Each structure stands twice: as C-alpha cells, then as structure tokens.
Amino acid sequence: MPLDFTAIDFETANNHAASACSVGLVKVRDGKVVDTAGWLIRPPFGYDDFSEWNTRIHGIVASDVADAALWSDQLPDLLAFADGDDLVAHNAGFDMGVIKAACTASLLDIPSFRYACTLQLARKTYTLDSYRLPVAAMAAGFEDFTHHDAIADAEACAAIMIHAAKRHEASDLDQLAEVSGIRINSIGSVAEAVAASA
C-alpha cells in the first residue's frame, strides 16, 4: 500500500468548533502532493460570529465569508476532494471536532473518516523544543509558510507526514502508525463500529 492521504486544516470564526470559516486540503499519492484546494466557509447559523481573537490569528472577517457557501452546501466538495482518503491533521482532534460540530450544527450526518495526527507523529519522530506546526514543519524541511492560512497549514501537515514516513521507513499510513506508536482514530459510522466491537 502506498502513502496516500488527504491533509486538512480548518480555521474557525470563534472558539466554537462548529464555526469553520475556511478549509485547506492537500491530496498526497504515493508520498507526493498531487493536488491542493481550499475555500472560505460561511459558518452555520448561530455559530457565525467572528471573534476579535480568531480574526487576529487568521485575518478572516465576517464580510470575507458573506458570499461563501454554508458548511451544509460545501461539505460535498470536501468529501469529493478527500474521496475516501484517511485524513491527516496537526492536532487532529481539533479538526475532526470541527467536522463533527459543524455537521451537528447543520443537522447533517457526520461523515466517516479514519484520521491520524501529525502533532502526535512529530512528538514520536523529532526532538524539538515545541511541536507547534511551524516548528514541526521546519524539522520536516518545510519552512517559510503562512501559518494559519488553511491551505499552507495543510501543506505543512502533509510535509510532516511524508518526511516522518521516510524517517520511519514506512510505506503507508498504517505501517507508519505502527512503527511510530501513534493511533489511527476515526469519526462517523467508522468510529461507531469500532466502539461497538470494543
């Protein structure tokens, strides 16, 4: 099995996980980036206030997303890009929490994904003073990117996964998880099936 996955990163309008306001996606095939995509998202109603703190981090304001598609309208595009891939994110619990919360707030079923976390992977792969995305990405040879730009962050995340797989001599995500000691988790019906069999 080759190293195939989709790296993902969300920015949020406020401190609620449902308030996704942008997404970045990077498709990796056989350890190489083959496609990128990203777009602004109008958060679900009731979760669409932009906090000054979040705007200071990513620079996105309410007027930027006024004409963007709602989460409920653009989720099919996200699913089409991922196309059944395992997802990879830095501090993946946050990004998977965004998917779950935004779907719940939009009265949508939570899609099924397996996912891995490059924050956990970086801690098992590098010896660093910090494992924040810019520092971990630098260890992977991916430098000078615009942190908190969703596409750039997803690219950095993909770079960590690819570099770590080479360091661990792993040919795919499952082997990388096994040799590095990280877990592959899941959301949606996949997670429910795992929980039911436990």
Q: What integer pLDDT is reported at residue 144 of this predicted model?
A: 82
pLDDT tens-place string over residues 91-104:
999 999 999 999 99
Q: What integer pLDDT is reported at residue 169 of this predicted model?
A: 96
d(CA 45, CA 102): 10
Query: Is the pLDDT score of 157 beyond 70?
Result: yes
3-state secondary structure of 155: helix
Tell me the percentage of the chain whose pLDDT exceeds 90: 92
Q: What integer pLDDT is reported at residue 191 of this predicted model?
A: 63
Q: What integer pLDDT is reported at residue 43 of this predicted model?
A: 96
Residue 57, both tokens: 């981090």
Q: Tell me what the pLDDT averaged over the chain comes to.
A: 95
User: In the beta sheet, which residues pair with residue 114?
Assistant: 186
Q: Residues 19, 75, 67, CA angle at the centre, nearest 5°?
A: 65
d(CA 158, CA 198): 31
Banded pLDDT at 28 (limits 50, 70, 90)? very high
Q: What integer pLDDT is reported at residue 197 of this predicted model?
A: 65
CB 179 within 8 A of CB 164: no
d(CA 149, CA 57): 9
Chain-centre distance for alpha carbon 98 = 9
Instruction: Give the global pTM.
Output: 0.94
Q: Residues 46, 112, 12, CA angle at the centre, nearest 5°?
A: 35
CB 155 within 8 A of CB 142: yes
Query: Is the pLDDT score of 110 beyond 70?
Result: yes
